[in-house]
Structure 1
Amino acid sequence: MPRFEPFRALRFADRDLQPLLAPPYDVLDDSDVDALQARSAHNVTFVDVPRGGADRYEVAAATLQDWVDQGVLVLDPEPSFTIYRLRFTDASGSRRDVAGVLGALEVLDPGADSGAGRVLPHERTTPKDSTDRLELTRATRANLSPVWGLSLAAGLAAMLAEPGEPVGRLVELTEGLGGPEVVHVWERVTDPERVRAIGALLAADDVLIADGHHRYAVSRTYRDEVRAATGRDDTGAERTLAFVAELVADQLSVEPIHRHYSGVDLAELRAALERFFVLSRVGGDHGTVSALNATAMVLLTVEGAWRLDPRPGVFDDVRALDGLWLETALEGVDVQVAYQDGVDAALDAVADRVAVAAVLVRPPSLEEIQRTAREGLLMPPKSTFFTPKLKTGAVLRPLEP
């Protein structure tokens, strides 16, 4: 893996993090932000989700600095790693205890090898305007939310089993994860020997970006700007905030992101799918399609629901990824694709005729995720939805001393 280093973290002085933290900026709508900001004048969204006019990034930066000056945020006295634990019940009903580490990940160009390892993309990304995150980074000179990486180095989960110094805990009530809550726990690690051991283990192999491809790309652009402005390649911009967990089954909770199709005639869409799949009609209620989706893809339309079973031999030369099978089947069909997690969202999109049809897909297997990493392959866009989402605000990383 490329360099992964401890840093002096900015943390909220108040240990009651419930009113202060937030989900990632890219899953929030305006009503979500309103609700979060109503909790506290110091909710992280006042910095991480700039609102207002053309000066909103400068306002966010000034707010961040005010919080530091007032002691709302406190800079750690020494560099550290932060163990981040997520305890929850997943969609299958299994209890999970995921542990990763927050640190500063080296920013590398595509295909570059630091000498220790590479940072590898996980899937093809969809076009997205990254100006917002770049402007915010320029103004605040800080990493506010982490990239999520998966380390191919064996043994990280075991190394993180020993607790560190408790620095925060939050209980999140949630729906859709198979249980009533997610417990988020943060523990600081400053012991020099343990810091060195974690860094050395992670230096042994590559890291696969699971979530945050655009944030990593923004970090690369910002690094290049700093290099051009300073003539230096040893500033804080050479690294970015990252959460890294081990790429093993018990440290991953992966859910699918379903496909919503529009801009096409339903008959044409069905005809294209039938060349590659056998369509078998099934009940279209939530419980039936959810249960079936555990083992098969499901086509949803206003006319009903159908199980999709590949015809013999049609995908012999195609990797076993539902998203890739659908891309193959619909190649040449002029269709618009949107991506959304959740069976309810797919059923609603079809019922409300926002989509002509939806296809419920299954998440990729651990074997395919590992193959993607080892062979340098890319999955189709939006192949995986890693859960639970990391909280923003527990650990911030200044880019300057």
Structure 2
Amino acid sequence: MTVGVPSPDDGSRPEPLVAPFAGWMVRPDWAERVISRAYDNLTPQQRRELVAANPYSYMNVTRSQEDLFDDADVSHDELVSEGAAALQRLLQVQAFTPTGRPALYLYRLTHARGTQTGVVGTVPVRGFDDGRIRIHERVHAERVNLLSAHLQGVGATSSPVAMAVRSSGELHRLLGEVTAAVPPDLEFGSPEVRHQVWTVPDRHTTPLAATLGNEVLYVTDGHHRSAAAVQALASEPDNPGLARTMAVIFPEDQLHVQAFHRLAADRFDRPPEECLGALTEALEVSPSVSPDDPGPLGKGTAGLYVGGSWHRLALPPATGNGAVSRLDVERLRRSVLAPMLGADELTRPDAVHYLPASAGLGEMARRCDDEHRVGFALHPLSVGELMAVADEGGLMPPKSSFFAPKPRSGVFLRVLGRGATADLPPS
């Protein structure tokens, strides 16, 4: 991700790792219409239907080319213009209100597997270069370019980069004190996932920022947004608004990781039975143990879907000594996707489509049939594995992990004072 952003060389102390910001928050009476569902949980068709039905969904601000109804090529400039117009529409109806002072916020998600409470603030973009913020996934340049253009052209961001921090008793104590001291400012969601937001009182802000200040942060969701922030700052290194980016930081022991399944195109365009035969000849492939549970049995295995049927695939052994090389996603990429299907996800962005495990294996099979792709259902990684890769400076393939549930876009608004927000003071 490093792109040559200069670090301070004047002997000054690094800027704070986590800091409050004077942002905007969605008004409670607008929350249901504005706050958008998690982008990766929706198919392109579902996103198209959502934005067509609701012009006030924040997804109108952030949509990409695949979310448009026609198949015509749309430039980044056109997408940015559409996003800016959608944000102006939200500002005109006063769907957001300024918070009036710099503050940290807590964002809690309550679901069947437990509760996770994160701290929302800004973090330094230079932290990605100086080791205070660590990544673990590769990114696609085209997506980064669009998000960077969006950041600079729309002039606001509402999707905090999700990060993990190593858990501590002090952090948990402070989080508990805040949520017990004041009622939430905002509550929304469904019975399955309840979202709550608190403004951190002044007396808790400094201790909370200090507790996080000497830690290392690990990006869990938002690698492309992180890379876009780095790219935007590199293009305007003296712009203070681009020097920080919005993040939500969760204790690592509260997070849950799902797999991102792979839907790969066969570059050789073989009939399904021929493709399956080639895979079976080179790899250890067997019929699915159970048609009701065709997914992976555990680490080192994958569910294989091709030609309307499920199979079990034993992944080839790891090659290399790093933490990345031992991961199922990398073993699949190196030994199966690239050499056997010609689906190099590092150089051909459309070679592999990604589907979170929460979408279900039935949806995976349907999409493979519709798109003439080969499906690979993977076992999820652990938070510890992700941290180990990041600590080594390693990079996984794109979309190697899916953290769920996710914070939503459309809750907060960090204004940059440009584009659609040119007449507003930066936050």
Quick check: 366-375 or 65-74, which moved more?
A: 65-74
On the 8 A contact 1:289/1:298 being kept in 2, the answer is yes
Q: Distance in 2 between matches of 1:314 and 1:11?
A: 47
On the 8 A contact 1:9/1:396 being kept in 2, the answer is yes
User: Could you tell me how far 1:171 is from its partner in structure 2?
Assistant: 1.9
Q: Distance in 1 between matches of 2:384 and 2:95?
A: 44
Partner of 1:382, secondary structure, is coil
Name 1:373's counterpart in structure 2.
390
Name 2:199's counterpart in structure 1.
188
Name 2:155's counterpart in structure 1.
141
Name 1:87's counterpart in structure 2.
110
Partner of 1:170, secondary structure, is strand
Name 2:211's counterpart in structure 1.
201
Bigger proportion of residues as helix: 2
On the 8 A contact 2:299/2:328 being kept in 1, the answer is no
Would the alpha carbon gap of residues 236 and 360 (structure 1) be closer, same or farther in structure 2, given more than 3 Å must change?
same
Q: Distance in 1 between matches of 2:196 and 2:155?
A: 26
Partner of 2:198, secondary structure, is strand
Q: Confirm or deny that 1:103 pairs with 2:121.
A: yes
Would the alpha carbon gap of residues 362 and 4 (structure 1) be closer, same or farther in structure 2, given more than 3 Å must change?
same
Name 2:259's counterpart in structure 1.
256
Would the alpha carbon gap of residues 273 and 259 (structure 1) be closer, same or farther in structure 2, given more than 3 Å must change?
farther
Q: Distance in 1 between matches of 2:341 and 2:59?
A: 39
Deviations 1:312-368, CA, capped at 9 Å, x for gaps: x7669574421122234336335225222331233224445712x322110112331
Q: Out of 37, 58, 65, which is 1:44 matched to? A: 58
Partner of 2:32, secondary structure, is coil
Q: Which runs of 4+ in 1 moved over 6 A?
A: 50-53, 313-316
Would the alpha carbon gap of residues 141 and 353 (structure 1) be closer, same or farther in structure 2, given more than 3 Å must change?
closer
Aligned length, in residue pairs? 369
Q: Out of 275, 280, 288, which is 2:286 matched to? A: 280
User: Could you tell me how far 1:296 is from its partner in structure 2?
Assistant: 4.2
Q: Distance in 2 between matches of 1:340 and 1:56?
A: 24
Deviations 1:109-150, CA, capped at 9 Å, x for gaps: 75x22xxx5221122224433343233322332122111111
Would the alpha carbon gap of residues 36 and 211 (structure 1) be closer, same or farther in structure 2, given more than 3 Å must change?
same
Q: Distance in 2 between matches of 1:125 and 1:222?
A: 15
Q: Distance in 2 between matches of 1:97 and 1:343?
A: 26
User: Could you tell me how far 1:76 is from its partner in structure 2?
Assistant: 0.9
Mapping of 1:205-284 within 5 angstroms?
205-227=215-237, 232=238, 235-248=240-253, 251-261=254-264, 262-264=266-268, 265-274=275-284, 279-283=285-289
Partner of 2:294, secondary structure, is helix
User: Could you tell me how far 1:97 is from its partner in structure 2?
Assistant: 0.4
Mapping of 1:2-151 within 5 angstroms?
3-15=17-29, 17-25=31-39, 27=42, 29=44, 31-36=46-51, 38-39=53-54, 42-49=56-63, 57-58=80-81, 60-61=83-84, 64-65=87-88, 67-68=90-91, 71-89=94-112, 95-108=113-126, 112-113=129-130, 117-151=131-165
TM-score normalized with structure 2 length: 0.75
Would the alpha carbon gap of residues 20 and 28 (structure 1) be closer, same or farther in structure 2, given more than 3 Å must change?
farther
Q: Out of 383, 392, 395, which is 2:400 matched to? A: 383
Would the alpha carbon gap of residues 158 and 380 (structure 1) be closer, same or farther in structure 2, given more than 3 Å must change?
farther
Quick check: 369-378 or 57-66, which moved more?
A: 57-66
Name 1:325's counterpart in structure 2.
331
Gaps of 5+ in 1: 90-94, 173-179
User: Could you tell me how far 1:66 is from its partner in structure 2?
Assistant: 6.1
User: Could you tell me how far 1:214 is from its partner in structure 2?
Assistant: 1.3
Partner of 2:293, secondary structure, is helix
On the 8 A contact 1:24/1:145 being kept in 2, the answer is no
Q: Distance in 2 between matches of 1:63 and 1:282?
A: 47
Would the alpha carbon gap of residues 165 and 348 (structure 1) be closer, same or farther in structure 2, given more than 3 Å must change?
same
TM-score normalized with structure 1 length: 0.80
User: Could you tell me how far 1:269 is from its partner in structure 2?
Assistant: 2.5
Gaps of 5+ in 2: 1-14, 69-73, 269-274, 344-350, 417-425
Q: Distance in 1 between matches of 2:136 and 2:331?
A: 17
Output the amino acid matched with 2:228.
Answer: V
Q: Distance in 1 between matches of 2:139 and 2:369?
A: 28
Would the alpha carbon gap of residues 283 and 347 (structure 1) be closer, same or farther in structure 2, given more than 3 Å must change?
farther
Output the amino acid matched with 2:329.
Answer: G
Name 1:167's counterpart in structure 2.
185
Deviations 1:155-208, CA, capped at 9 Å, x for gaps: 434432231441111123xxxxxxx611111111132x3111121121112111
CA RMSD of aligned residues (A): 3.2
Q: Distance in 1 between matches of 2:143 and 2:321?
A: 34
Partner of 1:160, secondary structure, is helix
